[in-house]
Amino acid sequence: MIKTLAVVGATGAVGQIVLDEINRQGLAYNTLKLLASQRSAGTTVQVAGQGGLQVELLRPEAFDGVDLVIASTPDEVAADFIPGAVERGAVVVDESAYFRMDPRVPLVIPEVNAGAAAMHQGIIASPNCSTTQMVVALKPLRDAAGLKRVVVSTYQAVSGAGQAAQQELLANTEARLRNAAGQATVFQHDIAMNLIPQIGSHKEHGFTSEEMKMVRETHKIFGDDSIAINATCVRVPVMIGHSESIYCETEEPLELEQIKELFRSAAGVTLVDDLANRSYPMPRDCADKPDVFVGRVRRDLTNPCGVNFWCVSDNLRKGAATNAVQIAKLLAEQAVCAK
């Protein structure tokens, strides 16, 4: 059991789901501390089994005596406070992007590379939401037949850009229905009734930062830079739930029923695949659920090693809060953070 658990960013959208996931997953602790910025410090948050807890100010002294931290903050905040928390003896599960590609920091999805967690030096990173669901779905195929190539197109919900993005979608949709123009503040263009084929900033060779995250994080999680990965990331006017169209090539051919059985038996994956009865994963149906959902499974018509499938997951759950709490529970069970 964890003696003292701290949740940083407890009043944010993901932080609230972290608290729900702690309860749902049964992560055991003796004492819970909620930490946030000056703006939220002093507020009271309802926590299952704890009643109302007052949020403390995020500052170095707040980590004295803390064993484990689950942090959901912007990159710059993570860079500022996490080293100090580790110096005070805490192990930090970080949901920001700041430490993900640091070679000293394991990038962990418990269903995929749980063993990497034991290699931490005080920090464990949780991957990008779009990477997480893809890698969870690819793992059973890779384990069974190897993996040579991945081509993925994402259809990412606005909640991936925060609460302000959700409000912008709602406001701009209402404006469009009145034949008025929407204001693009969070996104590069008005997202209402629209698609924006850019998530993140421009990077090398015309790819965006989000697309390159999927490439580099997948290589790190699988420990294999030889996998050819090509990503196109698109923002869509959906509130919650990232969808991905994935084509992959395995090293050995698999029969269609083998592929489906691999998905059925994979940890963290739910297969929903009955085209004749119009049954397949959709973001609205998958919202508020912790699994990665897979459907529309097909073999390539011309390549015996090619597999096509559709993948949907709640980006705030498995893409963020659920995975972070799973890592924390893994640490508790392995007694990695025991004093």
Q: Are residues 199 and 156 both part of a single domain?
A: yes
pLDDT of residue 49 exceeding 80, the answer is: no
Q: Which pLDDT belongs to residue 209?
A: 96
Q: Which pLDDT belongs to residue 81?
A: 95
Q: Are residues 79 and 198 both part of a single domain?
A: no
Q: Are residues 178 and 210 both part of a single domain?
A: yes
Q: Is residue 77 part of a domain?
A: yes
Q: Are 160 and 244 in contact (CB under 8 A)?
A: no
Q: Which pLDDT belongs to residue 335?
A: 63
pLDDT of residue 300 exceeding 70, the answer is: yes
Mean pLDDT of 159-170: 95
Share of the chain above pLDDT 70, in %: 98
Q: Between 45 and 126, whose confidence is greater?
A: 126
Q: Are 156 and 176 in contact (CB under 8 A)?
A: no
Q: Is residue 32 part of a domain?
A: yes
Q: Are residues 120 and 167 both part of a single domain?
A: no
Q: Are residues 240 and 218 both part of a single domain?
A: yes
Q: Are residues 274 and 304 both part of a single domain?
A: yes
Under the banding of pLDDT at 50, 70 and 90, the label for residue 339 is very low
φ/ψ of residue 197, rounded to 5 = -80, 45
Contacts of 141 (CB under 8 A, 6+ apart): 147, 248, 250, 254, 259, 262, 307
Q: Is residue 58 part of a domain?
A: yes
Q: Is residue 297 part of a domain?
A: yes
Nearest in space to 96 (alpha carbons), one of 138, 55, 124, 136: 124
pLDDT tens digits along 213-260 = 999 999 999 999 999 999 999 999 999 999 999 999 999 999 999 999
Lookup: tokens for 192: 């209402």
Strand ranges across the sheet with 68-71: 56-57, 29-36, 2-8, 68-71, 91-94, 123-125
Q: Is residue 253 part of a domain?
A: yes
Contacts of 293 (CB under 8 A, 6+ apart): 269, 270, 271, 272, 281, 285, 286, 311, 312, 313
Under the banding of pLDDT at 50, 70 and 90, the label for residue 40 is confident
Catalytic center residues: 129, 242
Q: What is the CATH number of the domain that holds 265?
A: 3.30.360.10
Q: Are residues 305 and 193 both part of a single domain?
A: yes
Q: Are residues 92 and 26 both part of a single domain?
A: yes
Lookup: tokens for 104: 């000293």
Q: Is residue 339 part of a domain?
A: no
Distance between CA atoms of residues 49 and 280, nearest Å: 36
Query: Could you tell me the maximum CA-CA distance found in the chain, to the nearest angstrom?
Result: 61
The domain containing residue 205 runs over which residues? 131-314
Q: Are residues 189 and 308 both part of a single domain?
A: yes
pLDDT of residue 109 exceeding 60, the answer is: yes
pLDDT of residue 133 exceeding 70, the answer is: yes
Lookup: tokens for 102: 């640091």
Q: Are 131 and 200 in contact (CB under 8 A)?
A: no
pLDDT of residue 288 exceeding 80, the answer is: yes
Q: Which pLDDT belongs to residue 334?
A: 79
Under the banding of pLDDT at 50, 70 and 90, the label for residue 48 is confident
Q: Which pLDDT belongs to residue 204?
A: 85
Q: Are residues 90 and 234 both part of a single domain?
A: no
Lookup: tokens for 82: 């996490």
Q: Is residue 172 part of a domain?
A: yes
Q: What is the CATH number of the domain that holds 113?
A: 3.40.50.720
Q: Which pLDDT belongs to residue 13?
A: 87
Q: Are residues 121 and 192 both part of a single domain?
A: no
Q: Are 231 and 207 in contact (CB under 8 A)?
A: yes
Mode of pairing for the β-strands spanning 292-299 and 123-125:
unpaired
Q: Are residues 182 and 249 both part of a single domain?
A: yes
Element (H, E) at 229: strand 228-235
Mean pLDDT of 59-74: 95
DSSP 8-state symbol, 79:
H
Nearest in space to 314 (alpha carbons), one of 293, 336, 337, 328: 293
Q: Is residue 288 part of a domain?
A: yes
Q: Which pLDDT belongs to residue 22?
A: 95
Mean pLDDT of 130-153: 98
Count of domains observed in the chain: 2
Mean pLDDT of 38-43: 85
Q: Are 329 and 25 in contact (CB under 8 A)?
A: yes
